Amino acid sequence: MKKIAILIGAVALGLNTYSQIGLVSGQIGTSVDTYLSRTVPFGFSGAVLVAQDGQILLNKGYGYADRSNKIENTIASVFSTGSLTKQFTAAAIMKLEMMGKINTDDKLGKYFENLPLNKQDITLYHLLTHTSGLPLAFSEDDFKPISKDEYLKKSMIAKSEFEPGAEFKYSNVGYVLLAMIIEKVSGLSYEEFLQKYLFKPAGMSQTGYAIPKWKEEDFVHIYNGNNDNGTTALFTRPTWHLIGNGGILSTTNDMFKWIVALNGNSILSEDAKTKMFTPFKNDYGFGWDVLDDGNLRQHNGGSLLGNGAELRWFVHEKLVTVIFTNSTIDGEMGFEVVRNELEALTMGDTIPLPPEIKTVSKDFTPYQGKYQIPSGATFTINVSDGEAKLLVENQEILDLLIDPENYKEGGSNVELNKKFENAFSKALRTEDFSGFDFTGAPEDLKNEINNELKLEGIENPYFKVVRTIPSHNSKDLKITQVALSTNKDFQGASLKLSIVTDNEKYAGIGVDFGFVDPISLGIYPVGGNNFQLYDLQAKFGAKMAVTKTGNGTYTFSFGNRTITAIKKID
């Protein structure tokens, strides 16, 4: 596999030599740009940076910063970094330790008076590594007014969920306390300290809350679905629910300068960086996830408003990607939807591209309803806020859309689903995993399934075989998705297993948490009664044409397969 080497050196001198429109350079930059440009009609919106061997290969905006006025994102667009802010806080703590003003082994009592008994053994190290036992947050609203003293009081009376250092639990509260300590020790505000000792030495003039001289037109609107939640100017007025743990504003240019500075010694010593990038529990260092034996340093973040951010630094390959997004995609953070494809391209791999489309206006109302094909399988077309979705409700319709040419009535993957249903039913009811014998690896699956259930503390779960889809990596590989939950109706997030098989033989397993929803394909009119179906998360779609016949039934064409006598039943 061809690897990318990204400059982590003195490239900062050339970062601003191109226009606000952006830069695309070389084969990899072009391929990433082609992919991201095709994602825009399907919901991607933000700015992305990739660089290689001393050259930035891609730095460009995509989609709209302001949908109402058709203003596009650019490399000057100002995004919220979300929880990437934590790495700035962690670096500030390391800077203070370098200056001899603090030690990460210091206990909170050195900085705060009248600590309750359950807070007296918490150290700065525990705050940095999310092992303090403090809660996640005190409010879902980051902008709810609260004074510094009031926030500190809430922190001190908050229930400790475990002994310091015993477990990992992500805590925004801990990073707010670190920001307070930075202010107490330095005599500067949190943002002033970051500007003086981190951002200015790194050449980052477009990073901060309120200190940078922002241009109003560079703030981007934040969208959760179709809801416009205002602009990133919101984050210029952070409350103590946010300071130190999230929301610092930045640009793709500045975030790359940040990596350049961390790779050198302009802001932190080698000893400080070694300490910061050494993982403790849950592969977390100081403000960074540290994975793959230290090769991958990353963090991401976002908010319920719809903004998202992710920074990934592959140390050995010298690969860095920065993804800022200002819109969710079907409820998911935008960076989560495009990350894997983007990085595959930066590694020189090829991927299936989204279709290239040019949409036209269309009234979807006549198409709304539930349809039944002659075999009895159904699908639904929903219309809301002028947008249409085709809901894939069963395996047969899914097989039809994925591979119209080889579709057969009943669906090609229904039998595989039944095998997994029988196997899970037997295993969860009787602890007998022999139902997985057809995979050639019943013991492997037994260990994987039981380990995940134990890890998540799930006992006596209900299960649901959700669907089987082809792998994007090989046409011979299939992924069967199975949900496990203590909720019979699978309300809320479920443990989701993605079991990979090669000609029904076990080839691996993936684990995630998420909702058990039907696949929802966007319907995009391209002219007449012709449409493009596509979903950026599911990463598949099909061309569709619809004709209403004289006898009240419908004819649908999916790709090169035409299905007649389709009834509208609801």
Give the pair of three-digit tokens for residue 431: 């602890």
**DSSP structural state of residue 265:** T
User: Residue 3 pLDDT more than 50?
Assistant: no
1.10.287, 2.40.128, 3.40.1130, 1.10.760: which CATH number matches 365-393+519-568?
2.40.128
CA angle 489, 506, 456 (to 5 degrees): 40
Percent of the residues in the chain that have a pLDDT greater than 90, as a whole number: 84
What is the rounded CA–CA span in Å between residue 98 and residue 269?
8
Asked whether 454 and 478 are in contact (CB, 8 A), the reply is no
Task: Return the beta strands (E) in 281-424 as ranges.
Answer: 289-291, 296-302, 308-314, 319-325, 328-329, 332-333, 369-372, 378-384, 387-392
Q: Is there a contact between 401 and 521 (Cβ–Cβ < 8 Å)?
A: yes
Using one digit for the tens of pLDDT, what is the confidence trace for 140-169?
A: 999 999 999 999 999 999 999 999 999 999
pLDDT for 20 equals 60
Choices 3.40.50.1110, 3.30.2450.30, 3.20.19.10, 3.40.710.10: CATH for 80-346 = 3.40.710.10
Distance, in Å, from the CA atom of 337 to the CA atom of 328, rounded to the nearest integer, reads 9
Model confidence at 320, in pLDDT bands (50, 70, 90)?
very high
What pLDDT digit, counting tens, does each position of 510-541 carry? Answer: 998 888 888 999 999 999 999 999 999 888 89
Q: What does the pLDDT look like over 28-68, one tens digit per residue?
A: 999 999 999 999 999 999 999 998 876 899 999 999 999 99
The structural domains of the chain, with segments of one domain joined by +, span 80-346, 365-393+519-568, 414-514
